[in-house]
Copies of this chain bind each other. A is one copy, B any other.
Amino acid sequence: MKTSLGAKTAAYPTPVFVVGTYDEKERPNVMTVAWGGICCSDPPCVSIALRKATYTYSNLEERKAFTISIPSTDQLEAADYFGIASGRDEDKFATVGLTPARSELVDAPYVEEFPLVLECRLVRAEELGRHTLFVGEILDVKIDDACLDDEGKPDIERLRPFGWAPLENQYYAMGQKLGRGFSVGKVFEQKGS
């Protein structure tokens, strides 16, 4: 039996994207968003949804560029803080003791200490209601060398990302491998053919 929860923003998992932008005075800002995700393979694109009231919204409209820095579990408190405070009032980097790095590809800063970074140029903005959906083309992805395995491939167990559960308002860990994509389902292939 299923119970109705009503019309809610429910999903598991949602990402924890730390969005970096510059303001009009060239000050770096970051804001954490959970509304977003990859939205195209070619060109590679990612979406983020922002309320108009956010400082990031106006920065993004002006600069047409943003980064997404993805935190490791160790950096949970800083990432959460970036979703509480506003860049209008303070330098969030300074508050949490992290370093803004200038992207060489787009007009936006990222969090140097966070293990994965996407550098994006704004390609689309769609007003949906309380949030506007921004689509960015991913021009490059950068990863900490410490998060690569011995063969030089990204290793989730070293990167240790985490997600958020909107229904519970909880961050939760991830990392235990369950199986390969487009592979574990092949147990059904004989039945299907």
Q: What residues of chain A have their CB less than 8 Å away from a CB belonging to chain B?
A: 1-15, 17, 34-47, 49, 68, 70, 73, 76-85, 89-90, 92, 95-96, 116-118, 123-124, 126, 128-131, 133, 135, 137-145, 148, 152-156, 159, 161-189, 191-193
Contact = CB atoms under 8 A, between A and B. Distances in A.
- How many identical chains are in the complex? 2
Contacts of A174: 12-13, 163, 172-174
Contacts of A95: 188, 191-192
A103 B164 CA distance: 27
B182 A172 contact: no
A6 B117 contact: no
Given A40-B130, A49-B38, A77 B15 contact: no
25 contacts: A2-B142, A2-B144, A3-B142, A3-B144, A3-B145, A7-B139, A7-B141, A9-B41, A11-B17, A11-B70, A34-B38, A35-B40, A39-B47, A39-B133, A40-B130, A40-B133, A42-B130, A80-B182, A84-B185, A96-B188, A126-B135, A154-B168, A155-B168, A162-B178, A174-B174
A90 B68 CA distance: 39
Given A77-B188, A174-B172, A143 B11 contact: no
Contacts of A43: 7, 128-129
B40 A37 contact: no
B10 A13 contact: no
Contact of A44 (B8, B37, B70, B144): B8
B179 A170 contact: yes
Which 10 A-B pairs give the minimum distances between C-beta atoms? A37-B37, A80-B185, A81-B185, A12-B161, A42-B130, A174-B174, A40-B128, A2-B142, A95-B192, A173-B176
